[in-house]
Amino acid sequence: MYSEIDTDKLTKAGRFLLDDITLVSYQSADGSNKNAKSISIKSLVQEINLYESLEGPGLSGNIVVGDGQAIVSHLPLTGYERIEFKLYTPGTSRGFDFSSITGHPMYVYKISGRIPLTPRSQIYILHFCSKEMLDNEMTRVNRTMTGSIDQMVTDIFRSDLKSPKNLIVEESKGVHKIIIPRLKPFKAISMLATKAEPMKYNSSGMLLYEDSTGFRFRSLENMLAIAGVARPVVAKFQMKPRNVKGGTGESNVIEEMQTVDGYTIKDQYDTLKNLSNGVYASKMVTHDIFNKTFSENTFDYNINFENVHHTEH
């Protein structure tokens, strides 16, 4: 990412380009929004937060609104309103497109922290998320699926969630026959992810997450390696004073973006938990009820370490 940034356009770390922020009401029962109202709230927004996570299936965020126009009652805000805007970093093509014309809008699902400031104004937080996260709560997967795990994930994503977004799937090993017992789509995919093995790597388990480019279903090792070789370092983050100018009298924008203000290590290690989970060594006994056989699989961390890619590479 950093190698693609045009520093002639990005002259200061932290700069961003923000289009108009529009709220579109939800009124029609068929979802067509033919009678929908829209209102620009860019001048009312005090703060925007966007969240990407490997542990969460979709994008989410919130905006802090200083409302002096009584939008809550006049629009009105009742849940499932669309929120549309574009947010980019100057000098790079990557960004968030939440417009209905060229991208995918986000949807409001919650209002919190509503506090009156004056008799005619108030402040509150609008929480929003990807449409797939809302559709996930209204859908169930209840069928037998056959094929590779990556094919099953694609089928659920397209057939059950009916998402038009970009989906990048890493190929997985084996052919499976799995019964999905009336689970929500993301829960079903999470279950399948624990059973998946990447085709090109020796690790187990895969992740479904969403970023600015769409949804991705891939293994952690795939993020650490490319073509069987550890991925090169993209950036080096370090703690140091900001706005330090070199001999030219100008600060380096890329270095400013890689400067860490502060960090906290929540867990260094937990030997007891690792022992309980079989991180260092374990023996798995499998009973094949169809063929009436037992098999054992022994794992040794020291032996297996060299067979997979790590963040230390």
Q: What predicted TM-score, i.e. pTM, was given to this entire model?
A: 0.85
Q: Which of 137, 177, 150, 172 is nearest to 57 (CA)?
A: 137
- Helix/strand/coil percentages in the chain, nearest 5: 20, 35, 45
Residue 84: how many CB atoms within 10 A of its CB? 21
Supply the pLDDT for residue 173.
Answer: 93
Q: Which of these, 179, 211, 210, 209, lies nearest to 192 by C-alpha position? A: 179
Rounded to whole angstroms, what are the CA distances from 154 to 99, 159, 162, 290? 25, 8, 10, 29
CATH for 2-129 is 2.40.10.10
Question: Which pLDDT band holds residue 29 (cuts at 50, 70, 90)?
Answer: very low
Asked if the bond preceding 57 is cis, omega within 30° of 0, the reply is no
Question: pLDDT per residue over 225-243, tens digit each?
Answer: 876 777 788 888 888 887 6
Start-end of H helices in 13-125 = 71-74
CATH 3.55.50.20, domain 135-232, yes or no = yes
E strand residue ranges, 119-232: 121-129, 141-147, 167-169, 176-183, 207-211, 214-218, 225-226, 229-230
- Alpha helices, DSSP H, located in 75-219: 131-137, 149-155, 185-195
Residue-level pLDDT at 147: 96
pLDDT at 180: 96
CA nearest to 150, candidates 198, 203, 214: 198
Domain boundaries, the chain: 2-129, 135-232
Joined together, the tokens standing for residue 254 give: 């890329």
